[in-house]
Amino acid sequence: MPARSLSPELSLPPTALIRNFCIVAHIDHGKSTLADRLLERGAAVSRRDMREQMLDSMDLERERGITIKAQAVRLHHRAPGGAEYTLNLIDTPGHVDFTYEVSRSLAASEGAVLLVDAVQGVEAQTLANAFLAVEGGLEVVPVVNKIDLPAADADRVAVEIAAVLGVSPGEVLRVSSKSGAGVDELLAAIVERIPPPRGEDSDPLRALVFDSYYDTYRGVVCYLRVRDGRISTGDRLRFLATGESPAADEVGVLTPRAVPVATLGPGEVGYLITGVKEIDRIRVGDTVTRADRPATVSLPGYREPKPMVFSGLYPSDGDQFERLREALEKLRLNDASLSYEPETSRALGFGFRCGFLGLLHMEIVRERLEREYDLDLVATAPSVAYRVVLPDGREQEVRSPQDLPEVRREILEPYVRALVITPSTYTGTVMELLREHRGELSSMQYLTPERVELVYRVPLAEIVFGFFDRLKSSTRGYASLDYEHDGYRAADLARVDILLNAVPVDAFSAIVHREAAYSYGRRLVDRLRGLIPRQLFDVPIQAAVGSRVIARETVKARRKDVLAKCYGGDVTRKRKLLEKQKEGKKRMKMVGQVEVPQEAFIAVLRVDAD
């Protein structure tokens, strides 16, 4: 690597001049646009150095093929008094499934900009994340965004935010991230209100890995927040949770381009490349220290991610199993919350039982696997993790309907504390919907006369099976949802099996509340009847709980499947037609003697299909 002269401006600012913050916002409330505005104002390098710096960085990229995702960006801000501040903007994901990732971003920050759309108002998930920030001891800077929209009601929204945070409406800033109005005031507030990081330069190094990603050329790239001490290129490191002890090949900051620096000190945010290539060896949330002078106490902020939703992922083409394994390994590098273990299905062959934080997470993973790794997947019905109490009193976790023991004392199912914020006109609708999903009201509070906050205890499985979509559609998209894990409770659950020609199709089994067993069984049987092509014999489709059949349909045997015409000697055409039909056959999976089209698995298991 050629020697580089490092810009003095990019090295070791005193902690008093550092502010680390994240932006907490609901999807579409303008977080990215605001980030762009902040980037423009606070270009990380001075104008004088800009050109040289950018070119240098581009060379770096070209040389090594690095593209760093802008997960944490360093900004410069010159305060009116002339002081030069370093602002680190740390990205947060914006969905209910990713509370865990949000908590990591928060753990790397001292403050959070709470961004609320001046039209939409406060949403459940924004609020949940704001609470997380408050609980984490972060300074919250409330901001109403999109104040220049015709339908904006900044005053009302400011009152709403103030009520939630217990501040005065006057403390709520007003911004248009589109036009840039109010952005300077926001920068001033970030500097004034958010405390500088505290950390001891002389203490042993402790830095939090708050994100990571895999680069083909450089291996694992970690995003770090230094708490105490210093990390320098060449240091021998130790990761407290994993015990790995690689050397720091390169440390640097993102401007947003990757710029190597000699050292990162207390309060700083940057990246670390260690040469570790194996994706399992570095865990997001781990604490990095120095091997020669190790810290002993890990930083808070790391929680073992707990998958809540499970689904089997199978390659449509059995030959793709190894590719699926490799793809999952790669995805897991950036996504510590993804878990998977090999699983075998009679219907689908070899695949993986995967654990996700939630349904959205599941869909994102599946989409990435299909798109980025060019896989064609079949996903089984999502399930939550149940606890089954065995006759001897032992407890067993059940992540797949197949694993449900026949003999058991009881089944405990996971519950969540669900927070729903809705316009008050939809209160009745929302309460009815939650009741249908076995929810129990814990509390109800009017944020303003127009907006209600409802807190329910609901089985997680109910949320998993399409609740969010139903909530959105029954409130015209106005209600918002957030939830957190809230223990287990005994429930009257049953496993519904689907049998094709008397052969159970494991991929379609589901553990459902006994009262919902019939409707689940009926729905699947009806859908399958429309999806399974006629065979050489009658195919009964049954839904059963244990040995009791609760719903039944029959796909009648095919009677005619032959082209009568001879086409006057045109043998070629007939053969081509058959060849084409044969291709369709290839996409069939055999379940016992029954041919089931690949699409049937997907269509039947689609949660929202009805």
> Nearer to other proteins by C-beta: 485 or 575?
575
Query: Rounded to an integer, what is the distance from CA 304 to the centroid of its chain?
Result: 15
> Nearer to other proteins by C-beta: 92 or 316?
316
> Nearer to other proteins by C-beta: 1 or 563?
563
Q: Considering the complex, what minimum distance in angstroms separates the CB of residue 65 from other proteins?
A: 42
**Contact criterion met (CB below 8 Å) for 32 and 176:** no
> Nearer to other proteins by C-beta: 55 or 563?
563
Task: Quote the CA–CA distance of 86 and 255 in Å, as a whole number.
Answer: 11
> Nearer to other proteins by C-beta: 82 or 568?
568
SS3 state of residue 312: strand
> Nearer to other proteins by C-beta: 48 or 582?
582
Environment class of residue 531 by beta-carbon count within 10 Å: exposed (0-12), middle (13-18) or buried (19+)? Answer: middle
Q: Considering the complex, what minimum distance in angstroms separates the CB of residue 533 from other proteins?
A: 11
Task: Quote the CA–CA distance of 545 and 493 in Å, as a whole number.
Answer: 10
Q: Considering the complex, what minimum distance in angstroms separates the CB of residue 598 from other proteins?
A: 16
What's the DSSP call for residue 416? E
Cβ neighbour number for residue 404 with a 10 Å cutoff: 18
Task: Quote the CA–CA distance of 599 and 584 in Å, as a whole number.
Answer: 11
Which bin fits 171, alpha (ψ -120 to 50), beta or left (φ > 0)? Answer: alpha
**Contact criterion met (CB below 8 Å) for 242 and 286:** yes
Q: Considering the complex, what minimum distance in angstroms separates the CB of residue 582 from other proteins?
A: 5
Q: Considering the complex, what minimum distance in angstroms separates the CB of residue 342 from other proteins?
A: 25
Q: Considering the complex, what minimum distance in angstroms separates the CB of residue 378 from other proteins?
A: 20
SS3 state of residue 559: coil
Element holding 365 (H helix, E strand):
helix 359-372
Q: Considering the complex, what minimum distance in angstroms separates the CB of residue 581 from other proteins?
A: 6
Instruction: Give the contacts of 448 (CB within 8 A, at least 6 positions apart).
Output: 156, 159, 160, 163
Identity (one letter) of the amino acid at 227? R
Task: Quote the CA–CA distance of 568 and 579 in Å, as a whole number.
Answer: 19
183-193 and 31-41 helices cross at what angle (nearest 10)?
A: 80
Q: Considering the complex, what minimum distance in angstroms separates the CB of residue 544 from other proteins?
A: 25
> Nearer to other proteins by C-beta: 423 or 592?
592
Q: Considering the complex, what minimum distance in angstroms separates the CB of residue 501 from other proteins?
A: 12
Element holding 106 (H helix, E strand):
helix 99-107
Element holding 186 (H helix, E strand):
helix 183-193
> Nearer to other proteins by C-beta: 392 or 579?
579
511 phi, psi to nearest 5 deg: -95, 120
One DSSP character per residue, 376-391 reads -EEEPPPEE-EEEE-T
Q: Considering the complex, what minimum distance in angstroms separates the CB of residue 551 from other proteins?
A: 24
Instruction: List the structure tokens of 33.
Output: 């646009």
> Nearer to other proteins by C-beta: 3 or 564?
564
> Nearer to other proteins by C-beta: 151 or 562?
562
Q: Considering the complex, what minimum distance in angstroms separates the CB of residue 318 from other proteins?
A: 14
> Nearer to other proteins by C-beta: 55 or 536?
536
Closest C-alpha to 85, from 21, 176, 142, 36 = 21
Contacts to other proteins by CB under 8 A = 536-537, 558-572, 574-575, 578-579, 581-582, 585-586, 590, 593
Residue with the two structure tokens 């009805």:
610
**Contact criterion met (CB below 8 Å) for 241 and 283:** yes
